[in-house]
Amino acid sequence: MAKKNMVYLNGKFVDSKKASVSIFDHGLLYGDGVFEGIRAYDGIVFKLKEHIKRLYESAASIRLNISISPKDMISAVVTTLRKNNLKDAYIRLIVTRGIGDLGLDPRKCKGKSSIIIITDKIVLYPKAFYENGLNIITAKTRRNSPTAIHPKVKSLNYLNNILGKIDAIDAGVNEAIMLTDAGYVSECTGDNIFIIKKGKLITPIASIGLLEGITRDTVMRIASKLGIEVIEKKFKLNEIYKADECFLTGTAAELIPVVKVDKKIINTGKPGPITAVLLHYFRKATVREGVKL
Protein backbone atom coordinates (compact mmCIF):
# COMPACT_ATOMS: atom_id res chain seq x y z
CA MET A 1 0.00 0.00 0.00
CA ALA A 2 1.31 3.42 -0.88
CA LYS A 3 2.12 5.64 2.09
CA LYS A 4 -0.44 8.35 2.78
CA ASN A 5 0.56 11.94 2.21
CA MET A 6 -0.78 13.95 5.14
CA VAL A 7 -1.63 17.59 4.61
CA TYR A 8 -2.24 20.29 7.19
CA LEU A 9 -5.73 21.72 6.78
CA ASN A 10 -6.92 24.33 9.28
CA GLY A 11 -5.12 22.82 12.23
CA LYS A 12 -5.80 19.16 11.41
CA PHE A 13 -3.77 16.57 9.53
CA VAL A 14 -5.73 14.92 6.75
CA ASP A 15 -4.93 12.32 4.07
CA SER A 16 -4.22 14.37 0.90
CA LYS A 17 -6.69 12.21 -1.03
CA LYS A 18 -9.45 13.23 1.36
CA ALA A 19 -8.46 16.84 1.96
CA SER A 20 -10.90 19.25 0.33
CA VAL A 21 -11.96 22.88 0.45
CA SER A 22 -15.38 24.47 0.08
CA ILE A 23 -16.61 25.61 -3.32
CA PHE A 24 -17.37 28.91 -1.54
CA ASP A 25 -13.74 29.41 -0.53
CA HIS A 26 -12.64 32.77 -1.93
CA GLY A 27 -9.25 31.29 -2.80
CA LEU A 28 -11.10 29.21 -5.40
CA LEU A 29 -13.73 31.79 -6.38
CA TYR A 30 -11.39 34.76 -6.75
CA GLY A 31 -7.79 33.66 -6.23
CA ASP A 32 -8.17 35.64 -3.02
CA GLY A 33 -5.28 34.45 -0.90
CA VAL A 34 -1.50 34.11 -0.71
CA PHE A 35 1.03 31.30 -0.93
CA GLU A 36 4.65 30.25 -0.54
CA GLY A 37 6.81 27.62 -2.20
CA ILE A 38 9.54 26.41 0.18
CA ARG A 39 12.17 23.70 0.05
CA ALA A 40 13.76 21.42 2.62
CA TYR A 41 17.28 20.11 2.11
CA ASP A 42 18.45 17.17 4.20
CA GLY A 43 16.29 18.04 7.18
CA ILE A 44 16.79 21.82 6.98
CA VAL A 45 13.86 23.95 5.83
CA PHE A 46 15.78 26.50 3.81
CA LYS A 47 15.09 30.09 4.88
CA LEU A 48 11.79 29.08 6.46
CA LYS A 49 11.60 32.24 8.59
CA GLU A 50 12.12 34.43 5.53
CA HIS A 51 9.37 32.58 3.61
CA ILE A 52 6.97 32.94 6.54
CA LYS A 53 7.80 36.65 6.80
CA ARG A 54 7.02 37.09 3.09
CA LEU A 55 3.77 35.14 3.49
CA TYR A 56 2.57 37.43 6.28
CA GLU A 57 3.68 40.52 4.33
CA SER A 58 1.81 39.32 1.23
CA ALA A 59 -1.26 38.70 3.41
CA ALA A 60 -0.99 42.16 5.00
CA SER A 61 -0.83 43.82 1.56
CA ILE A 62 -4.18 42.28 0.61
CA ARG A 63 -5.55 42.92 4.11
CA LEU A 64 -5.90 39.23 4.86
CA ASN A 65 -5.56 38.35 8.51
CA ILE A 66 -3.90 34.95 9.00
CA SER A 67 -5.57 33.33 12.00
CA ILE A 68 -2.40 31.75 13.45
CA SER A 69 0.90 33.39 14.43
CA PRO A 70 4.07 33.14 12.32
CA LYS A 71 5.58 31.02 15.11
CA ASP A 72 2.70 28.52 14.95
CA MET A 73 2.94 28.54 11.14
CA ILE A 74 6.61 27.53 11.40
CA SER A 75 5.70 24.67 13.80
CA ALA A 76 2.90 23.57 11.47
CA VAL A 77 5.33 23.33 8.52
CA VAL A 78 7.85 21.38 10.59
CA THR A 79 5.17 19.01 11.95
CA THR A 80 3.77 18.34 8.46
CA LEU A 81 7.23 17.39 7.20
CA ARG A 82 7.83 15.15 10.22
CA LYS A 83 4.48 13.41 9.79
CA ASN A 84 5.42 12.61 6.22
CA ASN A 85 8.97 11.63 7.10
CA LEU A 86 10.33 14.06 4.55
CA LYS A 87 13.84 15.46 4.78
CA ASP A 88 14.15 16.66 1.21
CA ALA A 89 10.88 18.20 0.16
CA TYR A 90 8.88 20.84 -1.61
CA ILE A 91 6.46 22.65 0.67
CA ARG A 92 3.43 24.58 -0.55
CA LEU A 93 1.81 26.88 1.97
CA ILE A 94 -1.57 28.34 1.05
CA VAL A 95 -3.70 30.83 2.95
CA THR A 96 -7.03 31.84 1.45
CA ARG A 97 -9.48 34.53 2.55
CA GLY A 98 -11.73 31.65 3.66
CA ILE A 99 -15.32 30.66 3.03
CA GLY A 100 -17.66 33.46 1.98
CA ASP A 101 -20.55 33.79 -0.43
CA LEU A 102 -20.58 34.33 -4.20
CA GLY A 103 -19.96 38.07 -3.86
CA LEU A 104 -16.56 39.75 -3.83
CA ASP A 105 -16.98 41.16 -0.33
CA PRO A 106 -14.11 39.73 1.74
CA ARG A 107 -15.97 40.60 4.97
CA LYS A 108 -18.28 37.65 4.27
CA CYS A 109 -15.32 35.37 5.02
CA LYS A 110 -15.47 36.65 8.61
CA GLY A 111 -11.70 36.75 9.05
CA LYS A 112 -11.48 32.95 9.08
CA SER A 113 -8.68 32.25 6.64
CA SER A 114 -8.19 28.71 5.33
CA ILE A 115 -4.66 27.40 5.92
CA ILE A 116 -3.24 24.51 3.90
CA ILE A 117 0.24 23.02 4.01
CA ILE A 118 1.15 20.42 1.39
CA THR A 119 4.54 18.70 1.50
CA ASP A 120 5.84 16.36 -1.14
CA LYS A 121 8.98 14.91 -2.62
CA ILE A 122 10.87 17.50 -4.58
CA VAL A 123 10.76 17.20 -8.36
CA LEU A 124 14.22 18.17 -9.54
CA TYR A 125 14.80 19.95 -12.82
CA PRO A 126 16.60 17.82 -15.43
CA LYS A 127 20.39 17.87 -15.04
CA ALA A 128 20.69 18.97 -18.67
CA PHE A 129 19.20 22.36 -17.75
CA TYR A 130 22.18 23.06 -15.49
CA GLU A 131 24.76 21.57 -17.83
CA ASN A 132 23.56 23.10 -21.10
CA GLY A 133 21.57 26.12 -19.94
CA LEU A 134 18.06 27.21 -20.79
CA ASN A 135 16.66 28.73 -23.93
CA ILE A 136 14.07 31.36 -22.99
CA ILE A 137 11.98 34.02 -24.72
CA THR A 138 10.31 37.29 -23.83
CA ALA A 139 6.62 36.86 -23.11
CA LYS A 140 4.05 38.88 -25.04
CA THR A 141 2.19 39.30 -21.77
CA ARG A 142 3.48 42.17 -19.64
CA ARG A 143 3.98 41.90 -15.85
CA ASN A 144 1.20 43.34 -13.69
CA SER A 145 1.62 46.99 -12.91
CA PRO A 146 2.68 47.62 -9.30
CA THR A 147 -0.23 50.06 -9.15
CA ALA A 148 -2.62 47.13 -9.70
CA ILE A 149 -1.77 44.06 -7.67
CA HIS A 150 1.88 44.52 -6.81
CA PRO A 151 4.06 41.66 -8.12
CA LYS A 152 5.82 41.55 -4.74
CA VAL A 153 2.62 40.02 -3.36
CA LYS A 154 2.74 36.26 -3.80
CA SER A 155 -1.00 36.04 -4.28
CA LEU A 156 -3.06 33.05 -5.37
CA ASN A 157 -3.99 35.07 -8.41
CA TYR A 158 -1.18 33.92 -10.70
CA LEU A 159 -2.97 34.44 -14.01
CA ASN A 160 -0.50 37.09 -15.15
CA ASN A 161 2.34 34.58 -14.73
CA ILE A 162 0.32 31.73 -16.25
CA LEU A 163 -0.30 33.79 -19.39
CA GLY A 164 3.45 34.41 -19.57
CA LYS A 165 4.04 30.69 -19.14
CA ILE A 166 1.64 29.98 -22.02
CA ASP A 167 3.73 32.34 -24.18
CA ALA A 168 6.80 30.24 -23.25
CA ILE A 169 5.01 26.98 -24.03
CA ASP A 170 3.82 28.36 -27.39
CA ALA A 171 7.45 29.17 -28.23
CA GLY A 172 8.57 25.67 -27.16
CA VAL A 173 10.74 26.89 -24.26
CA ASN A 174 10.64 26.51 -20.46
CA GLU A 175 10.58 30.08 -19.20
CA ALA A 176 9.75 33.57 -20.37
CA ILE A 177 10.96 37.01 -19.35
CA MET A 178 8.18 39.40 -18.42
CA LEU A 179 8.61 43.11 -19.06
CA THR A 180 7.01 45.98 -17.20
CA ASP A 181 4.51 48.19 -19.02
CA ALA A 182 7.37 50.59 -19.76
CA GLY A 183 9.39 47.77 -21.33
CA TYR A 184 11.91 47.13 -18.54
CA VAL A 185 12.91 43.58 -17.58
CA SER A 186 11.13 42.53 -14.38
CA GLU A 187 11.49 38.77 -13.89
CA CYS A 188 10.38 35.46 -15.40
CA THR A 189 7.02 33.74 -14.84
CA GLY A 190 8.28 31.82 -11.79
CA ASP A 191 11.90 32.90 -11.40
CA ASN A 192 13.99 36.04 -10.93
CA ILE A 193 16.59 36.97 -13.54
CA PHE A 194 20.23 38.01 -13.28
CA ILE A 195 22.95 38.95 -15.74
CA ILE A 196 26.70 39.23 -15.36
CA LYS A 197 28.57 41.95 -17.20
CA LYS A 198 32.29 42.65 -16.74
CA GLY A 199 32.32 40.67 -13.49
CA LYS A 200 29.36 42.56 -11.97
CA LEU A 201 26.07 40.94 -10.97
CA ILE A 202 23.05 42.85 -12.26
CA THR A 203 19.36 42.26 -11.52
CA PRO A 204 16.18 44.33 -11.98
CA ILE A 205 15.51 46.67 -9.06
CA ALA A 206 12.56 45.53 -6.94
CA SER A 207 10.75 48.89 -7.19
CA ILE A 208 9.85 48.28 -10.86
CA GLY A 209 7.56 45.44 -9.71
CA LEU A 210 8.76 41.89 -9.15
CA LEU A 211 8.67 39.17 -6.56
CA GLU A 212 11.61 39.62 -4.21
CA GLY A 213 12.70 36.01 -4.36
CA ILE A 214 14.33 34.37 -1.36
CA THR A 215 16.79 32.74 -3.78
CA ARG A 216 17.44 36.18 -5.38
CA ASP A 217 18.26 37.62 -1.99
CA THR A 218 20.50 34.67 -1.05
CA VAL A 219 22.43 34.91 -4.33
CA MET A 220 22.97 38.67 -3.92
CA ARG A 221 24.33 38.12 -0.40
CA ILE A 222 26.65 35.34 -1.58
CA ALA A 223 27.95 37.52 -4.43
CA SER A 224 28.64 40.44 -2.06
CA LYS A 225 30.54 38.14 0.30
CA LEU A 226 32.63 36.90 -2.62
CA GLY A 227 33.49 40.50 -3.47
CA ILE A 228 31.32 40.59 -6.59
CA GLU A 229 29.65 43.97 -7.06
CA VAL A 230 25.85 43.64 -7.03
CA ILE A 231 23.79 46.20 -8.96
CA GLU A 232 20.01 46.47 -8.77
CA LYS A 233 18.78 48.72 -11.57
CA LYS A 234 16.29 49.23 -14.39
CA PHE A 235 17.39 47.73 -17.69
CA LYS A 236 15.97 46.63 -21.02
CA LEU A 237 16.30 43.43 -23.03
CA ASN A 238 19.33 44.69 -24.91
CA GLU A 239 21.48 44.38 -21.79
CA ILE A 240 20.53 40.71 -21.54
CA TYR A 241 21.35 40.05 -25.19
CA LYS A 242 24.87 41.43 -24.73
CA ALA A 243 25.48 40.04 -21.24
CA ASP A 244 28.49 37.84 -20.43
CA GLU A 245 26.27 35.44 -18.45
CA CYS A 246 22.61 35.10 -17.58
CA PHE A 247 20.80 32.92 -15.05
CA LEU A 248 17.46 32.52 -13.30
CA THR A 249 16.80 31.93 -9.60
CA GLY A 250 13.90 30.30 -7.76
CA THR A 251 13.16 27.86 -4.96
CA ALA A 252 12.66 24.95 -7.35
CA ALA A 253 15.24 25.99 -9.96
CA GLU A 254 17.98 27.18 -7.54
CA LEU A 255 20.27 28.88 -10.12
CA ILE A 256 19.73 27.87 -13.72
CA PRO A 257 21.98 29.20 -16.48
CA VAL A 258 20.37 30.79 -19.54
CA VAL A 259 22.22 30.51 -22.85
CA LYS A 260 19.69 31.79 -25.37
CA VAL A 261 17.15 34.62 -25.15
CA ASP A 262 14.74 35.39 -28.00
CA LYS A 263 16.84 33.16 -30.25
CA LYS A 264 19.94 35.24 -29.50
CA ILE A 265 22.91 33.34 -28.12
CA ILE A 266 24.33 34.80 -24.90
CA ASN A 267 28.10 35.16 -25.16
CA THR A 268 29.60 31.70 -25.92
CA GLY A 269 26.25 29.90 -25.64
CA LYS A 270 27.53 27.93 -22.63
CA PRO A 271 26.70 28.36 -18.93
CA GLY A 272 29.09 30.93 -17.49
CA PRO A 273 31.82 30.52 -14.84
CA ILE A 274 30.45 33.06 -12.33
CA THR A 275 27.02 31.39 -12.50
CA ALA A 276 28.73 28.08 -11.63
CA VAL A 277 30.56 29.61 -8.66
CA LEU A 278 27.36 31.20 -7.33
CA LEU A 279 25.47 27.90 -7.71
CA HIS A 280 28.24 26.12 -5.80
CA TYR A 281 27.99 28.52 -2.84
CA PHE A 282 24.19 28.57 -3.02
CA ARG A 283 24.08 24.79 -2.58
CA LYS A 284 26.37 25.10 0.44
CA ALA A 285 23.98 27.67 1.94
CA THR A 286 20.93 25.43 1.50
CA VAL A 287 22.14 22.88 4.03
CA ARG A 288 23.15 25.57 6.54
CA GLU A 289 20.61 28.37 6.54
CA GLY A 290 17.20 27.38 7.80
CA VAL A 291 15.06 25.72 10.42
CA LYS A 292 16.12 22.20 11.50
CA LEU A 293 13.49 19.46 11.52
- Catalytic center residues: 154
* 226: number of Cβ within 10 Å: 12
Task: Compute the least distance from the CB of residue 71 to ligand PXG, in Å.
Answer: 21
> What is the closest distance, in whole angstroms, from the C-beta atom of residue 1 to ligand PXG in the complex?
29
Q: Which is nearer to ligand PXG, 92 or 108 (CB)?
A: 92
> Whole-number minimum distance, CB 279 to ligand PXG, in Å?
14
In the complex with ligand PXG, the residue whose CB is nearer, 99 or 254, is 254
- Whole-angstrom Cα distance, residue 232 to residue 216? 11
Residues in the chain: 293
| Cβ-based neighbours of 225, under 8 Å, separated by 6 or more | none
Cα–Cα distance measured from residue 204 to residue 128, given in angstroms and rounded to the nearest whole number: 27
Query: Of the candidates 217, 138, 127, 232, which has an alpha carbon nearest to the alpha carbon of residue 177?
Result: 138
| Closest approach of ligand PXG to the CB of residue 16, in Å | 18
- Give the nearest residue (CB) to ligand PXG: 213
How many Cβ atoms from other residues are within 10 Å of residue 133's Cβ?
A: 22
Q: How far is the CB of 167 from ligand PXG (least distance, A)?
A: 14
Q: Give residue 166's Cα distance to chain centre.
A: 18
- Closest CB to ligand PXG among 252 and 277? 252
Under the rule (CB under 6 A), what is the footprint of ligand PXG?
Answer: 37, 161, 187, 190-192, 211, 213-216, 249-252
Three-state secondary-structure class, residue 146: coil
Q: Are 115 and 69 in contact (CB under 8 A)?
A: no
Residue 197's DSSP bridge partners are: 200
Residue 288: what are its φ and ψ, rounded to 5°? Answer: -120, -40
- Chain-centroid distance of CA 236 in Å reads 22
Q: Which is nearer to ligand PXG, 109 or 206 (CB)?
A: 206
CB nearer to ligand PXG: pick between 81 and 178: 178
